[in-house]
Structure 1
């Protein structure tokens, strides 16, 4: 193939190997380089960039280990066969589609120490209450030895469920123990809902932009996705109403607070109208409230208005407490919870009793509440600084977020954020293109920025670079 448009700079402090890997990976993932394309030979690329062959050899090896390129003996290196087009309207559950969708999630875990994951959905380890966690782990190991070796009951630890009901009650959701089940993260809660309530060919409404892992899960099950634009006030009700004349969705998946990725909250009038539409057209709403604990003063939830009639409420502790413990939960009417527990038993038997015991201890002793007070302040400070920084460099913020760690932003004049992905890679920064957050992978000008990482020097160099390019244009 022709020369790759790489920009390798030995003065950035980013290893040459990582610069090559991140830039080629960004080109492949954004489809600037398509499946089957032949890459320059090691000798050719080294000569073009005027560098040693060794970083090129190591870069190609890493790309091959990630499944992005394939070496062919005697022929060279080729971009691995991948699904280049998405068929979100077909209900196709081709396993190749599952691979394509899962790759978007796997990017968060590849070589986490080598590039700045500016689009990451995780808060830094240093922000977590590691001391509180380790203390609770030691306590659970001593006081509840059975939790180290036994299965959790399918509904989940009773003490933890009781703590969850108290948290739901504080949001105005009148839930009792039979309304609540513990899941292996919020992802399992969504998976159980999809398995139980949907079949291949069913239609659901999702937010556009929205949660890409949910999109992949739905496509894997052969479910048809219809995107409803997400506005600053929530789903576009006028568009939803128009789409309901053409489609009969079984479910509508909605983020209420600090929506991923726009960081916006549903306005009360939108929530009321959405519930009216659900009653009129006979669909249920899955309220994904995974960012609830970042909010200091609770706002209106759909489940509090509906009281678990047509709303299924999903939450979790992974975003704040620990991603490793994998504690999620859902609240719904009693019969549905019973049905979901039956599916959980068949697919995973139960949860992790030890993790549930640790989480219950942290909530019951007040350790988690005190930690949240500290975390919220840190997140607020970080978010304010990030928004100010981005706007100072000429970026447009979708809607100034009131909490959480995410910012949905764009550079005016750039219509496809795949351009930003390529530019960021030159500075050792990994961005996810905005197309990942759209139901059918449409091009998108916006990208998700995690405010916790926006102050990193690599991010600052990238922001400054984009400002210089804009000014030069």
Structure 2
């Protein structure tokens, strides 16, 4: 378990303490252990951690600033600047276990941390822990396909396995979304479906409305594609429609990318009145609505989906199975109006020819037999019990939720800047997801996403309380 205790500076070395401290942070920046946008510890915190005077820390930070590695932001502190890493670094020569862990500062860092983390000590995890899933369901489906050479020895249909698209058509009908198999395109996970939509429906320079808070991976993908983000505040009932209308009138967005059910990170779901008004604004301002329902299997079927209300006229619906089957099976899909599918299928072909016919047929079997539906029902019941336990643990330590949690996530108010909070928690062995990661503008705040399935250990809540109390005793960074 990482301790987070830095090795002491050498007081008898020829290099001054300020120079040693500056070189220590410079090495972390060069090795991408501190990524662009990461905030350095406050002067007082850094002095305490390294056993030096605040004057020494100020001198070290000045050297880093002079070298162009960090920048000072008024009233906030020192932050790592964007730099181009060298072709080779010292990191390759060091064992991974010897590297100090850094709290996540962006979407990539959070995902990397999730891959490396122990789920039992990862309240910031974005998925269910492995022991909540059902490996026998997957193994049974694969065994049934072991002798099906037609599936195993072909590229498959560019649109996706036909049996899966038929089963998905029935699944969507249960949600009130009427889409025939010809209106469904399978993908390598829901994220791939979103990527296809970005590449075929949008152009660099376009403006796109996004939920704020929202999923930072989508912010990063849109920004990489040259898209301008228009953040829309997200509340318990859905987006702030007044803000959305004003942004739409001013910027003429091409699309709105949203999660209508069990929103990540807040757990909110769209209410019916807001959904109707949102679709009216989409018609009035002529923008596409991309509805990401990645967590849909964890939600009751009766919750309103925009695609059901719109009939896939202006809405494109995106779903997947990684959250309830296994993250290893990258099987997703989208449902859209027929006139949109040709371009999307062409992009999929250029991207990787087809998606896996074996995995898609296995998912089709899980759907056809009703086993996936029963598995999802068990997960919903287990999550319900977990939410009650987590709510009790949070209340016992004096914490409150921004709104009552639902689904997999809760949006917790810690009372302190969660970017500052993330590092001492990680030093104690707990990976968390600070709220700034879910802000399109990286706005700091006191909110944190909490995974209901991986936050059941009372030790985490005691540690959280201790770290919050410690931060509240310290002055805010200047």
TM-score tier (shorter):
0.7 to 0.9
Aligned to 1:407: 410
Give distance in 2, aligned partners of 1:438 and 1:120: 17
Q: Indicate if the aligned counterparts of 2:282 and 2:288 stay in contact, CA closer than 8 A.
A: yes
3-state SS of paired residue (1:452): coil
Aligned to 2:102: none
3-state SS of paired residue (1:121): coil
Pick closer, same or farther for the CA change 1:249–1:470 going to 2, 3 Å: same
Q: CA deviation at 1:465?
A: 1.5
1:107 equivalent to 2:113? Answer yes
Q: Indicate if the aligned counterparts of 1:179 and 1:331 stay in contact, CA closer than 8 A.
A: yes
Q: CA deviation at 1:105?
A: 2.5
1:161 equivalent to 2:162? Answer no
1:433 equivalent to 2:444? Answer no
Give distance in 2, aligned partners of 1:386 and 1:131: 28
Q: Indicate if the aligned counterparts of 2:122 and 2:455 stay in contact, CA closer than 8 A.
A: no
Give distance in 1, aligned partners of 2:451 and 2:218: 20
Aligned to 1:91: none
Give distance in 1, aligned partners of 2:233 and 2:243: 7
Q: Indicate if the aligned counterparts of 1:232 and 1:399 stay in contact, CA closer than 8 A.
A: yes
Which of 380, 387, 390 is the aligned partner of 1:376?
Answer: 380
1:209 equivalent to 2:209? Answer no
Q: Indicate if the aligned counterparts of 1:390 and 1:396 stay in contact, CA closer than 8 A.
A: yes
Pick closer, same or farther for the CA change 1:433–1:369 going to 2, 3 Å: same
Pick closer, same or farther for the CA change 1:371–1:84 going to 2, 3 Å: farther
Pick closer, same or farther for the CA change 1:342–1:84 going to 2, 3 Å: farther
Point out where structure 1 has 5 or more consecutive residues left out of the alignment. Answer: 1-13, 50-78, 86-93
1:417 equivalent to 2:424? Answer no
Aligned to 1:124: 129
What's the Cα RMSD here? 3.4
Q: CA deviation at 1:392?
A: 2.6
Give distance in 1, aligned partners of 2:458 and 2:301: 33
Q: CA deviation at 1:318?
A: 0.7
Alignment deviations for residues 302-335 of structure 1 (CA, whole Å, 9 cap, x no partner): 1111000000001111111111111111111011
3-state SS of paired residue (2:392): helix
Q: CA deviation at 1:435?
A: 1.1
Q: Indicate if the aligned counterparts of 1:408 and 1:446 stay in contact, CA closer than 8 A.
A: yes
Aligned to 1:247: 251
Q: CA deviation at 1:460?
A: 2.9
Give distance in 2, aligned partners of 1:171 and 1:131: 27
Which of 167, 181, 186 is the aligned partner of 2:185?
Answer: 181
Which of 300, 313, 317 is the aligned partner of 1:309?
Answer: 313
Q: Indicate if the aligned counterparts of 1:183 and 1:351 stay in contact, CA closer than 8 A.
A: yes
Give distance in 1, aligned partners of 2:335 and 2:322: 17
Q: Indicate if the aligned counterparts of 1:257 and 1:289 stay in contact, CA closer than 8 A.
A: yes
Aligned to 1:328: 332
Point out where structure 2 has 5 or more consecutive residues left out of the alignment. Answer: 8-27, 53-66, 74-81, 86-104
3-state SS of paired residue (1:244): helix
Name the TM-score, length of structure 1 as normaliser: 0.79
Give distance in 2, aligned partners of 1:178 and 1:286: 19
Q: CA deviation at 1:152?
A: 2.6
Q: Indicate if the aligned counterparts of 2:249 and 2:285 stay in contact, CA closer than 8 A.
A: no
Q: CA deviation at 1:134?
A: 1.3
Give distance in 2, aligned partners of 1:81 and 1:140: 55
Alignment deviations for residues 355-393 of structure 1 (CA, whole Å, 9 cap, x no partner): 111111111112212211211111111112112221332
Which of 222, 225, 243 is the aligned partner of 1:218?
Answer: 222
239-248 vs 262-271, greater mean Cα deviation? 239-248
Give distance in 2, aligned partners of 1:115 and 1:422: 18
1:455 equivalent to 2:460? Answer no
Pick closer, same or farther for the CA change 1:470–1:213 going to 2, 3 Å: closer
Correspondence 1:7-406 to 2 at 5 A: 14-16=1-3, 28=34, 31-33=38-40, 101-109=107-115, 111-113=116-118, 116-142=121-147, 144-401=148-405, 403-406=406-409
3-state SS of paired residue (1:346): helix
Give distance in 2, aligned partners of 1:256 and 1:19: 43
Aligned to 2:88: none
Q: CA deviation at 1:168?
A: 0.7
Give distance in 2, aligned partners of 1:112 and 1:193: 31
Pick closer, same or farther for the CA change 1:160–1:81 going to 2, 3 Å: farther
Pick closer, same or farther for the CA change 1:201–1:468 going to 2, 3 Å: closer
Give distance in 2, aligned partners of 1:151 and 1:82: 49
Pick closer, same or farther for the CA change 1:341–1:406 going to 2, 3 Å: same
Q: Indicate if the aligned counterparts of 1:212 and 1:439 stay in contact, CA closer than 8 A.
A: yes
Q: CA deviation at 1:458?
A: 4.1
